[in-house]
Amino acid sequence: MENKKVIFSGIKPSGDLTLGNYLGAIKNWVKLQDDNQYDCFYCVVDMHAITVKQTPKDLRRRTLEVLAIYIAAGIEPEKNTLFIQSHVPAHSELSWVLTCNSYMGELGRMTQYKDKSAKGGESIGAGLFTYPVLMASDILLYQTELVPVGKDQIQHLELARDIAMRFNNAYSDTFKIPEGYVNKQASKIMDLQNPEKKMSKSDENPNGYILIMDPPEVIRKKISRAVTDTVGKVNYTDDQPGIKNLINIMGTIRGVKPEEIVEEYADKGYADFKKDVAEVIISELQPIQERVNELMSNKKELEEIYKSGAQKASYVANKTLRKVMKKVGFIPR
C-alpha cells in the first residue's frame, strides 16, 4: 500500500450516467485496478452536482446509482476506496483554503464555466465558477499522483496542478503534483446527434446520448438514428465525425484499434455497421445493468460500502487537511 501510486477520480451525479462516462472514465478505472499498482479513491461527487439545480429526490437516487454502477462495472470495494464526496467534510474545508489561493482570472478562463454560464443568463450560480477549486481539493487531499479523466477535464486538472504548485511555493511542500491519465480512443465520446460536441448526461436531447441504464431497444433505436454522412463507407477520419465516433465506441469496448474495424467493415454499409455497434454496446452494458438493479433493490450493501469508504477516505484526507491548516496559520483543533 505504502509504495503504490494514488489515483483519484469521480463522477458527478448531475444526470443519469452516459456511455461517455463509462468508456471515458469507469472502464479505465477497472483496468487500473487490475494493474494492482495503485491505491485508488473513487468518489461520487455529489457536491459538484449541486452547481446546477438538482431535484433532491433524483440526486439521492442518482448518487446511489452511480456508486452501484462503479461496483457493477467491476470496481471492487475491497480493493478500492469508494465513497460519497459530501461524507468527507475535508473536501469543502480544503476547498475554502484553496479558493483563497486561486485567482478570478484563472477560474474565468475555464471552458466548462464559459460554456455553462453562457446558457445560464442572469442566474449563474457562483458554484459553477468555483467548482474547479473543489475539484482541485478532491484530488490534492489524497496526495494523488494520477487522475484518470476524459479530455474535457484536462483543463481543470491543469488548474489543480497550478493551485498545488502555488500553495507549495508559498507554504512549503504540501501537495503531490497530479498528472492526468487519458485513454486516447475513449477520451471524448461524442454526441450521437451532433458529433462535433461531446456526449453529456445533461444534454436536452436524449437521442444524443446512450445511458448506461438504457434498455436494449432504446440503444438500438438511438444508434440507428445516430447522425452519419453521405460518404457511405466506414472510414476513421475527421471528415466523418459521426462514423469516427461509432468506431471509437466499438473499438474501446472490444479493445481493438480503429483500423481493424475499418477493415472489417470495408464491404459493408452503415446499417450493418450500426446494428453491430448497438449489439456490442448492449452486450457490454447488460450485465452491468443487472448488477445495478440488484444493488439498488437492497441498499444495505451499498450503505456498508459507502460508510466504510468514507471512513477510509477521511483518514487520508484529514492528514493532508491538518497540514494545510497548520501551514496557513490556523490554530490546531
Among 6, 7, 8, 11, interactor with ligand AQP by CB under 6 A: 11
Among 6, 8, 24, 241, interactor with ligand AQP by CB under 6 A: 24
Check residue 189 for interaction with ligand AQP (CB under 6 A): yes
**Three-class secondary structure of residue 51 per DSSP:** coil
| Residues in Cβ contact with 177 at an 8 Å cutoff, skipping those fewer than 6 apart | 161, 164, 165, 168
Between 288 and 324, CB nearer to ligand AQP: 288
| 4 assigned to active site | no
Closest CA to 112 of 159, 144, 67, 60: 159
Check residue 285 for interaction with ligand AQP (CB under 6 A): no
Q: Per the structure block, which three cell numbers stand in for 86?
A: 459530501
- Side-chain-facing half-sphere of 310: CA atoms under 13 Å: 16
Check residue 18 for interaction with ligand AQP (CB under 6 A): yes
| 201 assigned to active site | yes
Tell me the torsion sign for CA atoms 258, 27, 212, 282: positive
What's the Cα-to-Cα distance from 225 to each of 219, 268, 283, rounded to whole Å?
A: 10, 18, 19
Stretch in the footprint of ligand AQP (CB under 6 A) among 15-23, 159-167, 215-223, 289-297:
15-23
Between 139 and 313, CB nearer to ligand AQP: 139
d(CA 40, CA 145): 10
Check residue 199 for interaction with ligand AQP (CB under 6 A): yes
Least distance from ligand AQP to the Cβ atom of residue 39, Å: 19
Check residue 200 for interaction with ligand AQP (CB under 6 A): yes
Q: Which of residues 29-58 bind ligand AQP (CB under 6 A)?
A: none
Contact 163/94 with Cβ under 8 angstroms?
no
**How are beta strands 38-44 and 5-11 bridged, if at all?**
parallel
Stretch in the footprint of ligand AQP (CB under 6 A) among 95-103, 125-133, 147-155, 213-221:
147-155
Least distance from ligand AQP to the Cβ atom of residue 58, Å: 13
Contact 281/223 with Cβ under 8 angstroms?
yes
| 327 assigned to active site | no
Among 150, 178, 195, 242, interactor with ligand AQP by CB under 6 A: 150
**Within 10 Å of residue 279's Cβ, how many Cβ atoms?**
15
Check residue 69 for interaction with ligand AQP (CB under 6 A): no
Between 182 and 324, CB nearer to ligand AQP: 182
d(CA 203, CA 267): 34
Of 201, 222, 244, 274, catalytic:
201
Q: Which residues bind ligand AQP (CB under 6 A)?
A: 11-12, 14-15, 18, 20-21, 24-25, 149-150, 152-153, 186-189, 198-202
Catalytic residues: 116, 198, 201
